[in-house]
Every structure is written in structure tokens, then in C-alpha cells.
Amino acid sequence: MEGTVLVTAAVFVERGGEAKARLEAAGLTLKPAAGPLSEETLIEQLQGCVAVIASMDPYTERVFAACPDLKVIARWGIGYDSVDVAAATRHGVMLINTPGTVTEAVADMTFALMLGVARRLPYCDAAVRSGEWPTVYSGQVFGKTLGLVGFGQIGQAVARRAAGFSMRVLATDPCADTAVARAMGVELATLEQVLRESDFVSLHATLCAETRRMIGAEQLSWMKPSAYLINAGRGGLVDQEALTEALRNGSIAGAGLDVLDPEPPAPGEPILELPNVVFTPHCSSFTHDTVALVNNRVADNLLEALSGHRPRFLVNAEVWEARS
């Protein structure tokens, strides 16, 4: 097996370890260029590469047309909203992801954000460090209503954790598995019902044209003034300007955000100035255990694809079928 593999997923560059060694032992040459890269830089770096271990770089029609050697995009993680899948398929490029590998880590972070913003943990930490010992009044998670926007693997993992907090759980998802919801005691509802009745709304929908900015000014106005918005999914699911205004004027109580739009945020972004938000830098997947698991799954995916075997986690199966 020969060929050069561009690596824009910084976590693979920094923590690849065994996974990198396996690829190099198979005869592949790794070319690190930690991303996400711009379209221009991506085109430049992809020249002569047969595959890429991809960050959230923009894989567009223009990129595919300019990079005829590219055969495989191996995404680090689940989401592939930065990839034009139809264009990849037209150009015969296989798109592979790693479903199921980050589920528990993201669900953990979702609860960390819920607890952090409700119990005002950043304020408490800063106060104690500065020599204060204030009386801090805060919200509660136990016994509250949790609304899930998206009820796939991660949404279900969050619901399992919510059971330990005796929470009522609502979920909205056009593709929800009703049998799973029933078994878990999760009530399926409309988006409006979820937003109106929940004390915490957590976003786990896939980002696509239909879901981009699905939480805007109108949807935020449906939420309780005492409610919190949690987003460990994709920043693009939310109209960030509308969210900033809702947080500023008290339409909702607060937010816990692992993702923003764009990322990283520009200096002086208004939402960064608000005290009722807990931020993390899109790191919900980056536990030591999960990073090792995903890195090795990415290596498996590449070795399967480049050795002529059908990858188990192929997104655009049409490419493989066209070759058969």
C-alpha cells in the first residue's frame, strides 16, 4: 500500500500514536497540516494525496475538481456537514466517518454544561480564587424537564443520564425510534412543545440545510425565562445573534455552549461578554479514551478503503457500488 495521506485533524496529528504507526507500517506517508484549512490551502495541501484524515475543512466541488488524486475522506468524528457529499460522490471520493465512537463523551459534556451553567460553576470558581466566599443562588437540574432536539445515539445517551437525575425527558426528531423512546420513558413531541415545556433544551440534530439556524428568535421566544439552552452539537444549529439577544434581555436564563458559529469566535464577539453562558472550545469528544478510540477507528477506515475492501462506515455507498 502506497500513497500520501494529508492529516488536517489536529487531534490525530497530536495524539495519533499507535494509529499513526499502523498507517506508516502499511506504507502510507502522513502529511500533517492541522486544520480546519481554508479552501485555498486545502487544495494546495491535497495535491498528490490519495486520502485525508479530515478536520472540518470545506470539501467542495472546487476542491474535488482540483484534487484528482483524492480517493478517500476519513472524517475524525461523526459529523460531515463541511463535506459536499453529492460532489464527493460525483468525483468518486469515498466519505467515511466514525459513528458511535464519541457518543458517551459528548453526552458527558452535555451534562457538564447543564450542571455548569445551572449551578453557576465558573462564577463560583472565580469568586473563590479571588478571595471571596459569596452566597450563590442557582438553578437545579434534578427533577427538571429536559428537551432533546435530536434523538439519535447521542440524544439517547443524554436521556439515559437524565434518568439518574429523575428528569422528565421530551424529544423531537422526525426519525426517532418510537420503540426506543417508549422503552426509555421519553415522550416524543413537536419542537414547539419541547421548547415551551423544557427547563433545559439540548441540541443533538445533524446540521444540514434544513436544520441550519433552526433555533432562531421565534424558537427562543417559546422557551421559559428560567430555561437553559445547551449545545454540544453544531454551532450552526442556532442563530447566534438571536441567542445573544435572548441571553442579554433575559428571555432565557442561560446557555452552555461547546460550539459556536463561526469557530473560533472573532475577538469581541458579543456573546463572549455575557455572564450567563458557560463556554467550552468544541472539545466534547476529546476525552483520552475517546481520542484513542476514534484515532484507531480512523486508521481502520483508511486501511480498509485503500486496501480495496468496502469500508464499514462508508457514507456514500454509491461510490463503492459504481466501482463494483
The pTM of the full predicted model, rounded to 2 decimals, is 0.91
Tell me the pLDDT tens digit for each residue of 76-113. Answer: 998 899 999 999 999 999 999 999 999 999 999 999 99
The topology (CATH level 3) of 3-100+287-323 is Rossmann fold (3.40.50)
Partner residues linked to 147 by β-bridges: 170, 201
Is 263 marked active-site? yes
Three-state DSSP at 231 gives: strand
Q: Quick one: which of 150, 136, 137, 147 has its CA closest to 114?
A: 147
Q: Choosing from 22, 241, 282, 318, which is the catalytic residue?
A: 282
d(CA 28, CA 86): 27
Cell of 313: 462506515
CATH class of 103-279: alpha beta
Q: Choosing from 24, 44, 61, 263, which is the catalytic residue?
A: 263
Q: Quick one: which of 243, 250, 227 has its CA closest to 279?
A: 243
Domains 3-100+287-323 and 103-279 share a fold: yes
d(CA 101, CA 77): 7
- Specify the residue for cell string 447521542: 154
List the domain boundaries for the chain. Answer: 3-100+287-323, 103-279
Cell of 103: 457518543
Indicate the helix (H) or strand (E) that contains 72.
Answer: strand 72-75
Partner residues linked to 116 by β-bridges: none
Walk along the chain (324 residues) in steps of 10 and give the mean pLDDT of each run. 93 94 96 94 97 96 97 94 95 95 97 98 97 97 98 97 98 96 98 98 94 97 98 97 98 98 93 97 95 96 93 93 76
State the pLDDT at residue 324.
62
Q: Choosing from 75, 91, 196, 234, which is the catalytic residue?
A: 234
Is 18 marked active-site? no
Angle between helices 103-118 and 288-306 (to 10 degrees): 150
State the burial class of residue 183 (Cβ atoms within 10 Å of its Cβ: 0-12, 13-18, 19+).
exposed
Is 234 marked active-site? yes
Neighbours of 194 (CB within 10 A): 26
Cell of 321: 457500488
